[in-house]
Structure 1
Amino acid sequence: MNEPVVPGLEAAFEVDARLGELQDHGVTRAGHRRVVPIVGGRITGLVEAEILPGGADWQLVRPDGAVEVDTRYTARTAEGGHVYLSTSGVRSGRPEVLEALLRGDLVDPSEYYFRLAVRLETSVPGLAVLEQSIFVASAVRGADWVRYTAFRVT
């Protein structure tokens, strides 16, 4: 009777982000820092918008080789409204798989783990309901792109 509802997942939107050249900042006090510019792309589904240049993924490479993902970027709807997205997550796998991804090789997504928590912020009235949900995503990394499907946790 007073049990919590078991969450489910429903597909919400897809992100296809284009990336700039990786900037290797070397080992800092926080760890091995890399920054990957987000230079464009599209969002489709419950959100329809163009990703604007100027965002980035501020990555930390852990001693075990896994990459901690921390992105922030903006998209603009056809009507001119803005959506701010931020993600946090992890990309991990066998060392040879992570090296292949770093080289830009296309690797079967079943060979590595790449999951994200996604947050949205917007002043667009028709999209404001999205700020009231939690989203998780499964992602794929290419040489100069990242694609993910975001799922609303029900």
Structure 2
Amino acid sequence: MSDAFPPPPPLVPMTRIACEVASVISLGALPIGERRYVPLRGGRVSGPELNGEIAEGGVDWQILRSDGVIEIAAHYVIRTDDGALIEVRSEGLRHGSPEVLAQLARGEPVERDAMYFRTVVRFGTSAPAWQHLNKVLALACGAREAHLVRLDLYRIT
């Protein structure tokens, strides 16, 4: 048995999401950190494997930890161009240098590679044409603007 790791599974470009977001709403300090949420207002999904719109009404629940890391748990729905509804659950982490976080606080856009913004994405749907998504995990790499989140999703093979 070799101690070498096998090559990682390939990542296949799946879709890009541009999601409009409302302002952060804080519930205050809890023992685990500041609990907050961000209402998702809608947006566009476009790419080689998935196209549609973000349905209004999703929420990004967050915990701002004492070390400056934001734990993300977003839950929303994509309405595909053919009318199917796909549930999306996206959990991960976002953090950056003090300078980058200050840019965000001022409402300035921050490039994708300027901070760590990664989530693991799962899908759920009853639509026959989209059943394959029930068996897929995706990796999202994100960028944040004042009122917009941009995510590039890659299907993990």
TM-score (norm 2): 0.89
- Return the letter of the residue paired with 1:28: L
Instruction: Measure how far apart 1:21 and its partner are.
Output: 1.7
Q: What secondary structure does 1:106 align onto?
A: coil
Determine the structure 2 residue equivalent to 1:31.
Answer: 33
Cα distance between partner residues in 1 of 2:63 and 2:35 = 5
- Return the letter of the residue paired with 1:72: H
Instruction: Measure how far apart 1:71 and its partner are.
Output: 0.2
Q: How does 1:75-94 map to 2 (within 5 A)?
A: 75-94=78-97
Q: How does 1:2-151 map to 2 (within 5 A)?
A: 6-45=8-47, 46-151=49-154
CA deviations on 1:41-96 (whole Å, 9 max, x unpaired) are 01112122211111111110111111111100012123332111010111111123
Unaligned runs of 5+ in 1: none
Q: Which runs of 4+ in 1 moved over 4 A?
A: none
CA RMSD of aligned residues (A): 1.8
Cα distance between partner residues in 2 of 1:62 and 1:73 = 23
Cα distance between partner residues in 2 of 1:131 and 1:99 = 38
Query: Is the contact between residue 111 and residue 144 of structure 2 (CA under 8 Å) also seen in structure 1?
Result: no
TM-score (norm 1): 0.91
Q: How many residues align?
A: 153
Q: What secondary structure does 1:114 align onto?
A: strand
Cα distance between partner residues in 1 of 2:50 and 2:105 = 30
